[in-house]
Amino acid sequence: MRAQAGVRMAAAAMLLLWLELLMAQVTAESALQQQFAAVATAFDADVQRTLRDVERLPRQLLAARAYLRAGANLRGQWSWSEAQAAQFERSATRQQMLADIKRLTALFESLNAGFTLYVNTEVRSLGVQLERWNKNRTVGLLADELHAAALAATNAGQPLRQFLIDWEPSAAAPLAAPGLGAHGRGQAVDFQIRKGERIVAGTETASVANDWDAPGWTQKLQRAVERSGLPFRGPLLSPREPWHYEYASARTQ
């Protein structure tokens, strides 16, 4: 009987400890949500709407970190509206960009017989950016990492805004936060290597070593860009994307 009573007492103690830990976590989560709400309301209406469309607090925190770190440049980096994107589609700048892509492709083909470049030049809408941010697995892992660190910082009494600005992830996010990134302003060009109808080097981060570095496409594309003298700048180094270049002259007209 004594043994059974001891077991019951131990179980009760463990349950009490678990409940205390759970309550502490709930309290910290509530405090974090309150601080995040205060951070979010400091952004302009477009950014606030975008944050509301980001799923779950961890991913919202990761996006807000990017917005805070953009600082005074945030508005200048923000994705175009549909009207601005449509204006760019009709602009002389876009026509020049398409012509330069065609010239670069011809040079690449002359340097790499049997291979060509495939490029998607569409401006990436905010809706597409949000969908990818909400579904990307690596973004989710980094967001959870940030969320755990933010909870600890909240418990320690650190102001969330400064914590988000200072926090460094274990790896670079594979996507720009929704609303940011050159794809939303018609400036980014993602090159893919194609042989016939087959893509031999695409735009998957996991494929960089096998599809880009090992066959030499990273260097071959960069060599063609450099030899062309055209205003493509890259490739993107963080996160490392050997296919990602920016067209330096891309602006609305």
Q: What is the pLDDT of residue 42?
A: 95
Write out the chain's pLDDT in tens, 253 residues.
555 655 565 555 565 555 455 455 557 899 999 999 999 999 999 999 999 999 999 999 999 999 999 999 999 999 999 899 999 999 999 999 999 999 999 999 999 999 999 998 889 999 999 999 999 999 999 999 999 999 999 989 999 999 999 999 999 999 999 999 899 999 999 999 999 999 999 999 889 999 999 999 999 999 999 999 999 999 999 889 999 999 997 443 4
Q: What is the pLDDT of residue 238?
A: 87
| Dist. CA 66–CA 53, nearest whole Å | 16
SS3 for 45-108 is: HHHHHHHHHCCCHHHHHHHHHHHHHHHHHHHHHCCCCHHHHHHHHCCHHHHHHHHHHHHHHHHH
Q: What is the pLDDT of residue 10?
A: 57
Beta partners for 236? 241
CA dihedral 233, 50, 139, 142 (to 10 degrees): 110
Q: What is the pLDDT of residue 13?
A: 54
Q: What is the pLDDT of residue 250?
A: 46
SS3 for the chain is: CHHHHHHHHHHHHHHHHHHHHHHHHHHHHHHHHHHHHHHHCCCCHHHHHHHHHCCCHHHHHHHHHHHHHHHHHHHHHCCCCHHHHHHHHCCHHHHHHHHHHHHHHHHHHHHCCCCEEEEECCCCCHHHHHHHHHHCHHHHHHHHHHHHHHHHHHHCCCCHHHHHHHCCCCCCCCCCCCCCCHHHHCCEEEEEEEECCEEEECCCHHHHHHHHHCCCHHHHHHHHHHHHCCCEECCECCCCECCEEEECCCCCC
Q: What is the pLDDT of residue 120?
A: 86
Contact of 247 with 97, CB cutoff 8 Å: yes
Paired tokens of 196: 């016939």
Q: Which amino acid is at 9?
A: M
Q: Which amino acid is at 126?
A: L
**Contacts (Cβ under 8 Å, ≥6 apart) of 252:** 80, 84, 87, 88, 91, 93, 186
| Dist. CA 215–CA 130, nearest whole Å | 33
**Contacts (Cβ under 8 Å, ≥6 apart) of 84:** 252
Q: What is the pLDDT of residue 252?
A: 39
Cα–Cα nearest to 51, from 43, 42, 60 = 60
Cα–Cα nearest to 46, from 86, 83, 80, 69 = 80
